[in-house]
Structure 1
Amino acid sequence: MIPPEGYAVAGLPVREFALVALVTAALTFLLTGLVRLFAIRIGAVAYPRTRDVHVVPMPRLGGLAMYLGICGGMMVAHQLPVLRRAFDFALDPIAVLIGGGLIVAIGVLDDRFELDSLTKLAGQTTSAGILVLFGIQWMVLWVPWGGDGGYFGTVLILDQNQGGLLAILLVVTMVNAMNFVDGLDGLASGIGFIAAVATCAFSLHLLDQSGGSVNNYPPILISATLAGACLGFLPHNFQPARIFMGDSGSMLIGLMLATASTTMSGKTTPTEGATNSIALFSPLLVVAAVLFIPLLDLLMAVIRRTRRGESPFSADKMHLHHRLLEIGHSQRRAVLLIYLWAAVIAFGAVSVSLFDAFIVAWGMGIGVLVAVIVSAIPRLRSR
Structure 2
Amino acid sequence: MFATTALAALFFVPASSEMGFLLAACALLTMTGSIDDRYDLHYQLRLGVQALSACLMIWGANTSLLSFGDIFGFGDIKLGFLSIPITIVAVIGMINAFNMIDGIDGLSGGLSLITVTALYFLIGDRIADGASNILLLMIGALTAYLIMNLHIFPKWTPKIFMGDAGSMVLGFTITAFLIRYSQGIKEIMMPVTGLWLVAVPLMDIFVTCIRRIRHGRSPFHPDRTHVHHIFMKAGLSRRNTLLVILAFHSIAVTIGVVLETTIHSDYISFIFFAVLFFAYLEFIKHSFKASKWIKRTFRKTR
Please give the TM-score of this superposition, normalised by the length of structure 1.
0.64
Partner residue, 2:284: none
Structure 1's 347 and 93: CA in aligned 2 closer, same or farther, altered over 3 A?
farther
Partner residue, 1:137: 64
Task: Give a deviation string over 1:158-179, Cα, whole Å, max 9, x none.
Answer: 55x5333232121101000011
Equivalent residues of 1:327, 1:379 under 8 A apart: no
Distance 1:317 1:374 in 2: 16
CA RMSD of aligned residues (A): 3.0
Distance 1:219 1:143 in 2: 26
1:170-185 residue pairs with structure 2 within 5 A?
170-185=90-105
Distance 1:166 1:221 in 2: 29
Identity of aligned residues (%): 24
The answer to whether 1:234 aligns with 2:155 is no
Deviation at 1:269, TM superposition (A): 8.5
Partner residue, 1:77: 12
Partner residue, 1:277: none
Partner residue, 2:165: 248
Distance 2:165 2:5 in 1: 13
Distance 1:337 1:177 in 2: 18
State which of 186, 195, 210 in structure 1 corresponds to 2:106: 186
Partner residue, 2:176: 259
Partner residue, 1:293: 200
Task: Give a deviation string over 1:313-357, Cα, whole Å, max 9, x none.
Answer: 111111100111122211111111111011110122112233479
- Please state whether the residue corresponding to 2:124 is helix, strand or coil: helix
Partner residue, 1:164: 84
Letter matched to residue 67 of structure 1 = F
State which of 18, 22, 43 in structure 2 corresponds to 1:96: 22
Letter matched to residue 166 of structure 1 = I
- Please state whether the residue corresponding to 1:316 is helix, strand or coil: coil
Equivalent residues of 1:204, 1:220 under 8 A apart: yes
Equivalent residues of 2:231, 2:291 under 8 A apart: no
Distance 1:347 1:312 in 2: 30
Deviation at 1:300, TM superposition (A): 1.4
Task: Give a deviation string over 1:235-258, Cα, whole Å, max 9, x none.
Answer: 111268822110000100000011
Equivalent residues of 1:289, 1:345 under 8 A apart: yes
Distance 2:74 2:186 in 1: 12
The answer for unaligned runs of 5 or more in structure 1 is 1-65, 79-83, 146-151, 208-212, 271-279
Distance 1:192 1:125 in 2: 21
1:194-205 residue pairs with structure 2 within 5 A?
194-204=114-124
State which of 268, 293, 302 in structure 2 corresponds to 1:376: 293
Letter matched to residue 138 of structure 1 = L
Letter matched to residue 121 of structure 2 = A
Equivalent residues of 1:107, 1:247 under 8 A apart: yes
Distance 1:186 1:265 in 2: 28
The answer to whether 1:154 aligns with 2:75 is yes
- Please state whether the residue corresponding to 2:104 is helix, strand or coil: coil
The answer for unaligned runs of 5 or more in structure 2 is 153-157, 280-286
Letter matched to residue 132 of structure 1 = I
1:118-129 residue pairs with structure 2 within 5 A?
118-129=44-55
Deviation at 1:285, TM superposition (A): 2.8
State which of 321, 336, 351 in structure 1 corresponds to 2:258: 351
Equivalent residues of 2:120, 2:136 under 8 A apart: yes
Deviation at 1:218, TM superposition (A): 5.3
Structure 1's 374 and 327: CA in aligned 2 closer, same or farther, altered over 3 A?
closer
Letter matched to residue 94 of structure 2 = M
Distance 2:185 2:120 in 1: 15
Partner residue, 1:47: none
Distance 2:29 2:22 in 1: 10
Equivalent residues of 1:92, 1:218 under 8 A apart: no
- Please state whether the residue corresponding to 1:120 is helix, strand or coil: helix
**Number of residue equivalences:** 273
Letter matched to residue 263 of structure 1 = R
- Please state whether the residue corresponding to 1:353 is helix, strand or coil: helix
- Please state whether the residue corresponding to 1:243 is helix, strand or coil: coil
Equivalent residues of 1:195, 1:291 under 8 A apart: yes
Equivalent residues of 2:180, 2:186 under 8 A apart: no
Structure 1's 309 and 158: CA in aligned 2 closer, same or farther, altered over 3 A?
closer
Task: Give a deviation string over 1:30-75, Cα, whole Å, max 9, x none.
Answer: xxxxxxxxxxxxxxxxxxxxxxxxxxxxxxxxxxxx1101112312
Equivalent residues of 1:219, 1:264 under 8 A apart: no
Distance 1:218 1:284 in 2: 21
Equivalent residues of 1:140, 1:269 under 8 A apart: no
1:284-363 residue pairs with structure 2 within 5 A?
284-355=191-262
Structure 1's 381 and 286: CA in aligned 2 closer, same or farther, altered over 3 A?
closer
Letter matched to residue 203 of structure 1 = I
Give the structure with higher Rg (CA).
1
